[in-house]
Amino acid sequence: MKRGARHGAVTVAPSAFGVAPSDTPIPNPRRFRRPPAAPRPRSLRLADGRIIRLPAVMGILNVTPDSFSDGGRYLEPARAVDHALAMEAAGAAIIDIGGESTRPVGAIAVSADTELARVMPVIERLAGKLRAPISVDTRRAVVARAALAAGAAIINDISALEHDPGMAAVVAKARAAVVLMHMRGGPTDHARHTRYRNVLDEVVRYLAARARFAIAAGIARSRIILDPGLGFAKTGRHNLILMGGLWRLGALGFPILVGASRKRFVRALAGEGAGAVELANAAAHALAIAAGASIIRAHDAGATAAVVRMAAAIAAEGRV
């Protein structure tokens, strides 16, 4: 090989494998520069003093008959409690309980009374048993108020406090943490609202605006989490664009939650078989952590916890 004339580059000699010789120089590695990355928040302090070390896994507990992945499996409160405790033991730092399905196709809106009847027995039975903070996946202030009074610490609102005018005040009064997610439409029709000029720009602008709204409503900035809403009013390509641009959301300075677990775009790329889907989940979760995500919302808490630990360790060394 001979040393090139510019930037300490070298020109590769003709390949022994029959590849045509190239005059394209190889850049000097010392001149490589990493793109700037926003620092990932290291922890999330809750109102009761508990601290969630980030990055963390949020275990999904659907107490619904029709959720897309595990609908009906944990509808009975005793089974739901056992699963919550198992996810905590496997590495989940947060347990997210939801009583209304938001599946892309076929979701059925339920009343507040139905949602309360599903989630409250589980929250009440977990009291004194679960150390991990409870998050409740709800759009309704009445459900949030009851859940927070029973011991929940986080409200995961897929409408980013837009669906119920009373939600922001409930969260602020309880000094709870809140997840603000991007979505268009509602649980039953969001799949029909997937047209964007620039999905990444629009999601970043929307979540920045909703974070400002939450702060103005009295919610502590340090307890706001942003979620790009993968699969909610998004095509498969939109989801990939958002995953690739997570650093833009991270630059806003809030913890970022990513919920790709077993979603349609993951299954479509993975191919047939549960094993392939779980491997695709792992890839999505690892890349999300590398891009700065702070919380991974997932069905398989144990496998995801291992992925998060490994990806976070590599990402930490890469930022040295």
* Average pLDDT value for residue range 288-300: 96
180-205 pLDDT per residue, tens: 999 998 777 787 888 999 999 999 99
Lowest mean pLDDT segment, chosen from 25-34, 56-65, 242-251, 280-289: 25-34
CATH number of 78's domain = 3.20.20.20
Catalytic residue among 103, 118, 262, 297: 297
3-state secondary structure of 237: helix
Q: Is the pLDDT of residue 320 over 50?
A: no
Q: How many domains does the chain have?
A: 1
The count of other CB atoms within 10 Å of the CB of residue 311 is 21
Q: What pTM value is reported for the model?
A: 0.86
Distance, first Cα to last Cα, the chain: 32
Asked if the model's pLDDT at residue 114 lies above 90, the reply is yes
User: Which of 79-88, 97-106, 178-187, 266-275 is most confident?
Assistant: 79-88
68 is a domain residue:
yes
Structure tokens at 249: 């959301």
Q: What is the pLDDT of residue 272?
A: 76
| Residue 17 in domain | no
Domain of 205, in residue numbers: 40-318
> Is position 11 within any domain?
no
Is 23 inside a domain boundary? no
Helix (H, G, I), strand (E, B) or coil at 74: coil
Closest-CA residue to 184 (of 209, 163, 164, 201): 163
**pLDDT tens-digit map of 70-90:** 557 888 999 999 999 999 999
Count of all residues that appear for the chain in the document: 320
Is position 263 annotated as part of the catalytic site? Answer: yes
Residue 99 lies in a domain: yes
Task: State the burial class of residue 127 (Cβ atoms within 10 Å of its Cβ: 0-12, 13-18, 19+).
Answer: exposed
Kindly indicate the confidence band of residue 11, based on its pLDDT and cuts at 50, 70 and 90: very low
Q: Considering 139, 263, 264, 267, which one is annotated as catalytic?
A: 263
Q: Is 121 contained in some domain?
A: yes
**Confidence category of residue 3, pLDDT binned at 50, 70, 90:** very low
- Look at residue 22 in the predicted model and tell me its pLDDT: 57
d(CA 51, CA 309): 18
pLDDT in tens, 127-183: 999 999 999 999 999 999 999 999 999 999 999 999 999 999 999 999 999 999 999
pLDDT at 6: 45
The three-class DSSP label of residue 44 is strand
**Mean pLDDT confidence for 1-14:** 45
297 catalytically annotated: yes
pLDDT for position 190: 82
- For 106, the token pair is 């076929």
Contact 11, 23 (CB under 8 A): yes
Residue at 308 is within a domain: yes
Average pLDDT value for residue range 216-228: 98
pLDDT in tens, 28-60: 655 555 555 567 899 999 999 999 999 999 999
